[in-house]
Amino acid sequence: MSKLKIRDNSVHFWHETSSPTLEGLMGTYYSVANGYLGLRGTDEEMPSWASPGFYVADAFCAAPSKLVPIHPADHVLSHPEYVKEKYHEAHQKIQLTTLPNLPNPIAVNLWCDDELIRMETVSMVTNERLMHLDEARFSRRFVFRDAQWRRTIVDSQRFVSWDHRNLVCMRYEVTRDDHQAQIKVAPYLKSDVTNDEQTKLFEIVSEEQSDGLNYITVQPPECQTLYLAQAYSVTETDGKTVLDVVVAVTESDQETTNNMATEALSQGFDQLLHLHKQAVADAYRQSDLYVDADAFTRQGVNFGIMHMEMALPIDNPKTTALVKGLTGEGYKFAILWDTEFHLFPFYLFSHPEQARNLLLYRYNTLDGARYNAEKGGFKGAKYPWEAAKTGREECTPWLILPDNEIHISADVVYAIRLYDENAGDPTFLLEYGAEMVIDIARFFAYRSQWVEEDNRYELLHVGCPDQYHTHENNNTFTNYMVKWTLDYALSLMDDSQYAAVAKQLTLTGEDRQRMQEVAEKIYLPQPNHDGIIEEFDGYYQRSQDLRGISERFCAHTQATKQPDVSLIFKQDPEAFPIEIQRKNWYYYSDRCFYGSSLGMAGFALAGARIGILEESVDYFIRASRADLDGLRADSDLGVHLASYGVLWEAAVMGFGGYYPNPREVIFKPNLPRQWRNLSFTLTWQQCQFRVNITEGYLKIATQASNPKSIPVRVQDNNTRLCAPGREYIFNL
């Protein structure tokens, strides 16, 4: 008996364990998904400690508030009023929104003669898991001795198809190692599954089990009906019992779903796997990133890219990239600022056609954003801190975040502008984007408050992105983002082609005047005599004693959870001189407690851009291992998806020095001494090209099918036009 083979640690990772205490982590690590379906890495035999998870990306349903326990009153995220005990009874009656954990599609019963094999009772020889990052495929070897001391080997593999987004495919192969017992295998749709807190979020409408086909129709509350069909075949080959399973999931009807599963099974597992591998390879060609680091750093980078690809909905503007992808129930599958500010650049420059759909999701929920603004007493559109299918606020009311974390609306504008300037799509802004930008700007204009004694507009009672300070005045990042949003909206309103959009929004003269006044007079914190930009009013007066920091003991100090001030340099790298950026990097990285997975990756990005290379490489390496080394100790809830978006930015926009620009492609590389090579693929204005950076030069290889030549400027040299299908070398 041989072990599962690992030929390249950079594209594989492996565990050998059956520990119930590690089940949550293993479920996350070995999740497979395709942007529509997500399946956690549970053992097919479904032991009592299993935590099976199977999710459909746009199937948001109603759920009880007990899924999110009420925070302590002294927690930094708690609302000072609504967290009080007198509101608790009302809180218990509210409904939240999440994805239901659906009947699990890969459950298998296995018998040796008449003995039903249970992981709880057999003697396990080994239980190995192997993830193929380059194929988005999970394989497993389970070897056991049963009650008769017979040794049996189970080899399984599964994938959620990137070729056919409705399919889950599995092969389960049983080998008699030292006996001739009769082997029987039977797959089933495991319907006794729940979400967190033992909460079942679907009703079974109908179900049927028959030879070769099992199916079930489920109805989650306030959600579309979902149809699952499990087609399977069992064959005997060379003394092995081989079970092939194909599960189809649709929102159409049961007959269509059944036919889809049976027709896919008729193609054969090997053909389905071949088509899946082709689709994976096609996707990776657009998002390829190679860092000349050690194998385990590359493993972490490849793990992150695989998960960002697995979280991307394909041709589906009803949803977007969820905070944990489809790997776990952390944050109840909410949609946060992570998508637009941290993940969107990766999607835009890898898959611009799908990045458009991520923005269409926000457009489709614009009415919900308008409802949020109106509920707060403002005009315009206010995107929720936690979103789902409607755009209305989904965050629990005992938290301060819905009222104060207003920067998320500006983050949506950031993504819209980035797309408009770099995607080569002349229609989106006119048909969708401008409407969102202008209505968000209108909200900010009225959310800002005039402070007479200082003769300026200010933003009071806001939550800082650092998230240890959630009730402050004039957060630097928020104020600058609001200023940029207002300026952008006003520029669109001054453009005649967007006049119809402004008219459609029934903007009044008062609205326009208010937006103009706030844009001109909003307070923008400036560097002090030491070159430091204060994160918010009064930050300097907070305690510098940072001992014992936690989310219940932090707001009184200068401790930060993740980067904050440094984020404005990402949005506008030329807003402040490099020396100011460096001073703020050192000042705030010393005060960061990295309570978020965004911390290390964020400072790697900010530092690499301004030449702080030794420290940034260290942050990059550690950030790459955020999940696989359990740095956050909460990966059982799902992967830290946004941190991989920032990690990609650190490689491409930090060390690679790529600066998005609507007129030309700009590179100012900062290759660290530890790396001999950095390469990646980008798509800019419908033109794809590969970049290779080594010491002394940068090479660009353009795709032959590009519709035009690409203007490229490296460092401060003259711009060169790079024609389709050519290679160009630039000296550094």
- Contact present, 288 and 207 (Cβ < 8 Å): no
Please tell me the predicted confidence (pLDDT) of residue 388. 96
- Contact present, 382 and 449 (Cβ < 8 Å): no
What digits encode the pLDDT tens for the residues 216-233?
Answer: 999 999 999 999 999 999
85-89, 136-140, 267-271: which has the minimum mean pLDDT?
Answer: 85-89
The most confident of the ranges 64-73, 80-89, 109-118 is 109-118
Please tell me the predicted confidence (pLDDT) of residue 502. 87
Residue 637 has pLDDT above 70, yes or no: yes
Residue 209 tokens, joined: 């089990």
Which amino acid is located at 608 in the chain?
A
Residue 3 has pLDDT above 70, yes or no: no
Please tell me the predicted confidence (pLDDT) of residue 93. 87
What digits encode the pLDDT tens for the residues 561-603?
Answer: 999 999 999 989 989 999 999 999 999 999 999 999 999 999 9
Q: 113 — phi, psi (to 5°)?
A: 55, -120
Residue 96 has pLDDT above 80, yes or no: yes
Which amino acid is located at 512 in the chain?
R
pLDDT band for position 2 (cuts 50, 70, 90): low
What digits encode the pLDDT tens for the residues 33-45?
Answer: 999 999 999 999 9
- Average pLDDT value over all residues in the chain: 96
Residue 69 tokens, joined: 């326990």
What digits encode the pLDDT tens for the residues 640-654?
Answer: 999 999 999 999 999
Residue reference for tokens 């991520």: 358
What digits encode the pLDDT tens for the residues 495-551?
Answer: 999 988 988 999 999 999 999 999 999 999 999 999 999 999 999 999 999 998 888
Residue 618 has pLDDT above 60, yes or no: yes
Where does residue 453 rank: exposed (0-12), middle (13-18), buried (19+ CB within 10 A)?
A: exposed
Residue 476 has pLDDT above 80, yes or no: yes
- Contact present, 675 and 655 (Cβ < 8 Å): yes
Please tell me the predicted confidence (pLDDT) of residue 497. 93
Residues forming a β-bridge with 249: 228
pTM value surpassing 0.95: yes
- Contact present, 280 and 134 (Cβ < 8 Å): yes
Residue 403 has pLDDT above 90, yes or no: yes
CA-based radius of gyration for the chain: 26
CA-to-CA dists, residue 301 to 37, 73, 283, 632, angstroms: 23, 38, 16, 17
Please tell me the predicted confidence (pLDDT) of residue 550. 87
Q: Which residues contact 183 (CB under 8 A, 6 or more apart)?
A: 110, 111, 112, 152, 174, 176, 241
The C-alpha angle with vertex 416 and arms to 415 and 420, in degrees rounded to 5, equals 115
Residue 206 burial (CB count, 10 A): 11
How many residues in total does the chain contain?
732
Q: Cα separation of 28 and 637, whole Å?
A: 7
Residue 251 has pLDDT above 90, yes or no: yes
User: What's the average model confidence in pLDDT over 664-668?
Assistant: 98
The C-alpha angle with vertex 607 and arms to 603 and 608, in degrees rounded to 5, equals 115
What digits encode the pLDDT tens for the residues 141-161?
Answer: 999 999 999 999 999 999 999
Residue 177's SS3 state is: coil
Q: Cα separation of 445 and 74, whole Å?
A: 32
Q: Cα separation of 568 and 411, whole Å?
A: 11
- Contact present, 468 and 561 (Cβ < 8 Å): yes
Please tell me the predicted confidence (pLDDT) of residue 58. 96
Q: Cα separation of 244 and 66, whole Å?
A: 39
* Cα dihedral sign, 182-187-192-197: positive
Residue 69's SS3 state is: coil
Where does residue 335 rank: exposed (0-12), middle (13-18), buried (19+ CB within 10 A)?
A: buried
DSSP 564-610: -TTHHHHH-TTSS-HHHHHHHHHHHHTTB---STHHHHHHHHHHHHT
Residue 366's SS3 state is: helix
- Contact present, 570 and 415 (Cβ < 8 Å): no
Please tell me the predicted confidence (pLDDT) of residue 4. 77
Q: 246 — phi, psi (to 5°)?
A: -130, 125
Residue 52's SS3 state is: coil
- Contact present, 605 and 649 (Cβ < 8 Å): yes
User: What's the average model confidence in pLDDT over 607-618?
Assistant: 98
Please tell me the predicted confidence (pLDDT) of residue 549. 87
Residues forming a β-bridge with 56: 37
Residue reference for tokens 């660009």: 700
Residues forming a β-bridge with 108: 187
Residue 625 has pLDDT above 90, yes or no: yes
- Contact present, 230 and 254 (Cβ < 8 Å): no
What digits encode the pLDDT tens for the residues 487-499?
Answer: 999 999 999 999 8
Q: Cα separation of 494 and 497, whole Å?
A: 9
Residue 226's SS3 state is: strand
Q: Cα separation of 564 and 527, whole Å?
A: 15
Of 191, 196, 197, 245, the C-alpha closest to 218 is: 191
